[in-house]
């Protein structure tokens, strides 16, 4: 490729000037000079670097800075940090150089955005360690996370040029941590785009299909919306306030989630779009105008009483305020209507950064976010969590569908949906949670695992004799309650843990096993325990005996490669180098690694891949290479936390080999239906069945069939044939969830 340096330089300067134009409203005196200095430094540092797409690397920091200004609403310090966010990690520039030129605040942000270098312990997760480092800065400066989200958004927008296994890893990290983080910080537009891009790169056919169907229905949708809002406009004009009406289809990812969750086709997703009424009113009159508009909407259209959501009186934990109602249009179609003010709309789209603009006028939304940040700081102070445990606990703080409840004195408390009386007790105070024996909910006595509903008033009952036990972890959902119970249980376990540690050290010496981190990782996998603490506890309690440890010594984990020793570093590149030298069994139909050779593998039971599925290889600790579908329920977590163990894999259609998969059949019951279904499977298509189970309930039957197919085309033919059987309404594939 011939590079025209003059054209490139012109493009870089053009992008830099565009950034300055966009930043103009937030710039104070002297800011433009600082931004120029940061741009020059980044330009010089990245001058010989190119992205995978071939474009100059400087395009990336410039784009990240632009997203910070345009889409998040950040100021000068963030622009400088965004321009410099990769220089310490990728070039010779050090943090002290940045501090000298731009001060401590900017340096702290850049440090938070810089990945940890060096080797990680065997079995630990470099990704989780870096997540933890970045998240630690939340308690000091939220801008680190906001810039990181801008960085991730630009990386996702330009993911096309990356190799397939990189696309899967980056997409999975995005849906696992970054999209929920954007949601929690109220960055709705960014969260939506990240989710859509995740689907585009993990399941392109499904993404394309939904996208095409949204496009196909655009003309009829616009016509329908025009008719729907016409009578509302006439009434809104009488209010004498400025207003705007927007309509947008639901995001591709949210339509996909609904289709998957409810197991329905696109055509049956009833609320495909929402109509948003945005009012411009003085802050003190916001509530009354929103309810007035609600009254206008429900005068013309019948509301669904179960679908009213009032986030104006009690904003969501991320500061989101809006009034939602779902109404029945004249043609029998359900439409979601969102009513909010301009201020609320800006906060809903730009989230945390937009709060500061309105900080002095309204305090409630900021305080909700502040409360959440206090919870996060609490979690960050715990030093004894492994990086993986930390990320897992942190994610628990991100999902914020909420339930609103009250203390006996009428104080409002917000808890995650699914919270119990025990969650509430720990939310009040750790000591109250630890001694909780039950509760009175709306004056009625209930057990500690009683599920709370909106509006419940709760009084906690305690006893000094009460002590937490392992079962309590099943009774709570909030991260605070979970971590406090784990802490209390750890204190009670300490003695047995110390004893178990001693026993293990002694036994390993006797068995002549070197107690290094790799052996401990294999041991945790062999005994199926989540942490070293738990391993020591089980040995101390006698649940893992000396004989069990001897059996572990005799156990030989299969190498990921035939007749090759286990790679010491377990790093994918090392494994792929070995694969390049290896030729394995020809009867296999799966090619693995950079050079796509045939090596030994196992098919994961959690998602039962078959030829034609898009798959990836995952190097396990004790079971060699396992093959998962990219849509496997466990794929996101594996790829997000252990991307360094992922190997490319794809099917070839050399041989007809049968693979086990599952089909769910739903229909209306009639005599001889089961016989007709099994005839199609075994006689017409000569497919072997492993198991067949049907149940009928008031004229509706549903069945699950486990059967052997050659590949996805074979499976599609079978589904099409079954759907033609009289009485069958729907046939769909399901994952085998057994381990």
- What residues act catalytically? 89-90
> Of 348, 356, 303, nearest to 325 (Cα)?
303
- DSSP letter assigned to residue 305: G
> Of 78, 129, 132, 130, nearest to 108 (Cα)?
78
Q: Which residues are registered as beta bridge partners of 402?
A: 416
The answer to whether 196 touches 251, Cβ cutoff 8 Å, is yes
679-689 residues labelled b (16+ CB within 10 A) or e (exposed): ebbeeeeebee
Q: Which residues are registered as beta bridge partners of 325?
A: 337
> Of 477, 486, 472, nearest to 389 (Cα)?
486
> Of 301, 302, 126, nearest to 229 (Cα)?
301
Q: What distance in Å separates the CA atoms of residue 727 and residue 702, rounded to the nearest whole number?
A: 11
- DSSP letter assigned to residue 654: S
The answer to whether 369 touches 163, Cβ cutoff 8 Å, is no
* CA 367-371-375 angle, 5° bins: 165
- DSSP letter assigned to residue 384: S
398's tokens: 């991100």
Q: What distance in Å separates the CA atoms of residue 682 and residue 593, rounded to the nearest whole number?
A: 37
Q: Beta-strand (E) ranges in 560-681?
A: 590-592, 602-603, 615-619, 625-629, 646-651, 659-668
| 183 Cβ neighbours under 8 A, 6+ residues apart | 191, 318, 398, 400
The answer to whether 631 touches 637, Cβ cutoff 8 Å, is no
């Amino acid at each position: 490729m011939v590079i025209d340096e003059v054209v490139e330089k012109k493009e870089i300067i053009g992008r830099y000037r565009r950034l300055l134009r966009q930043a103009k409203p937030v710039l104070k005196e002297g800011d433009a000079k600082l931004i120029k200095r940061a741009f020059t430094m980044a330009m010089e540092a990245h001058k010989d670097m190119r992205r995978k797409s071939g474009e100059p690397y400087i395009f990336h920091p410039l784009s990240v800075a632009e997203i910070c200004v345009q889409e998040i609403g950040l100021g000068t310090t963030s622009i400088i940090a965004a321009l410099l966010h990769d220089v310490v990690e990728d070039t010779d520039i050090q943090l002290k150089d940045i501090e000298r030129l731009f001060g401590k605040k900017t340096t702290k942000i850049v440090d938070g955005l810089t990945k940890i270098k060096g080797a990680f312990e065997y079995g630990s997760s470099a990704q989780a360690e870096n997540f933890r480092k970045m998240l630690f800065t939340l308690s000091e400066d939220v801008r680190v996370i906001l810039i990181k989200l801008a960085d991730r958004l630009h990386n996702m927008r330009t993911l096309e040029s990356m190799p397939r296994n990189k696309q899967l890893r980056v997409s999975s990290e995005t849906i696992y941590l970054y999209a929920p983080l954007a949601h929690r910080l109220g960055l709705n537009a960014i969260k939506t785009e990240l989710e859509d891009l995740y689907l585009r790169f993990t399941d392109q056919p499904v993404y394309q299909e939904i996208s095409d169907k949204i496009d196909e229905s655009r003309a009829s949708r616009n016509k329908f919306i025009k008719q729907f809002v016409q009578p509302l406009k006439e009434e809104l004009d009488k209010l004498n306030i400025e207003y705007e009406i927007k309509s947008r289809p639901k995001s591709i990812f949210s339509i996909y989630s609904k289709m998957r969750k409810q197991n329905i086709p696109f055509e049956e997703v009833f609320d495909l779009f929402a109509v948003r009424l945005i009012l411009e009113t003085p802050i003190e009159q916001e509530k009354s105008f929103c309810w007035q508009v609600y009254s206008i909407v429900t005068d013309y259209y019948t509301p669904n009483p179960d679908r009213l959501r009032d986030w104006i009186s009690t904003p969501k934990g991320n500061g989101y305020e809006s009034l939602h109602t779902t109404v029945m249009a004249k043609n029998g179609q359900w439409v979601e209507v969102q009513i909010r003010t301009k201020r609320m709309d800006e906060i809903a789209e730009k989230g945390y950064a937009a709060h500061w603009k309105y900080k002095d006028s309204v305090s409630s939304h900021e305080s909700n976010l502040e409360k959440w940040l206090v919870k996060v700081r609490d979690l960050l102070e715990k030093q004894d969590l492994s990086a993986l445990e930390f990320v897992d606990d942190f994610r628990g703080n991100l999902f914020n569908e909420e339930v609103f409840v009250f203390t006996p004195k009428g104080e409002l408390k917000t808890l995650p949906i699914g919270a119990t009386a025990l969650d509430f007790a720990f939310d009040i105070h750790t000591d109250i949670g630890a001694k909780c024996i039950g509760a009175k909910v709306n004056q009625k006595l209930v057990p500690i695992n009683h599920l709370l509903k909106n509006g419940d008033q709760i009084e906690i009952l305690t006893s000094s004799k009460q002590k937490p036990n392992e079962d309590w972890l099943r009774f709570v959902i909030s991260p605070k309650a979970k971590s406090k119970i784990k802490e209390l249980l750890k204190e009670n376990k300490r003695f047995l843990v110390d004893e178990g540690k001693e026993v293990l050290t002694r036994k390993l010496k006797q068995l002549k096993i070197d107690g290094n981190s790799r052996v401990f990782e294999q041991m945790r996998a062999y005994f199926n325990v989540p942490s070293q603490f738990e391993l020591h506890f089980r040995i101390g309690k006698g649940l893992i005996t000396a004989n069990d440890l001897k059996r572990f010594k005799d156990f030989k984990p299969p190498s990921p490669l035939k007749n090759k020793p286990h790679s010491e570093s377990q790093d994918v590149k090392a494994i792929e180098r070995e694969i390049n030298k290896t030729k394995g069994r020809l009867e296999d139909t799966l090619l693995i690694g950079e050079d796509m050779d045939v090596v030994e593998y196992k098919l994961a039971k959690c998602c039962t891949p078959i030829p034609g599925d898009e798959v990836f290889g995952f190097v396990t600790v004790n079971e060699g290479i396992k093959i998962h579908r990219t849509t496997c329920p466990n794929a996101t977590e594996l790829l997000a936390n252990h991307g360094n163990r992922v190997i490319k894999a794809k099917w070839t259609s050399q041989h007809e080999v049968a693979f086990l998969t599952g089909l769910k059949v739903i229909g209306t019951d009639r005599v001889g239906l089961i016989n007709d279904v099994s005839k199609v499977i075994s006689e017409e298509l000569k497919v072997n069945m492993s198991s067949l189970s049907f149940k009928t309930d008031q004229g509706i039957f549903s069945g699950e069939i486990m059967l052997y197919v050659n590949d996805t085309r074979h499976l599609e033919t079978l589904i099409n044939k079954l759907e033609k059987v009289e009485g069958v309404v729907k046939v769909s594939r399901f994952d085998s969830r057994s381990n």
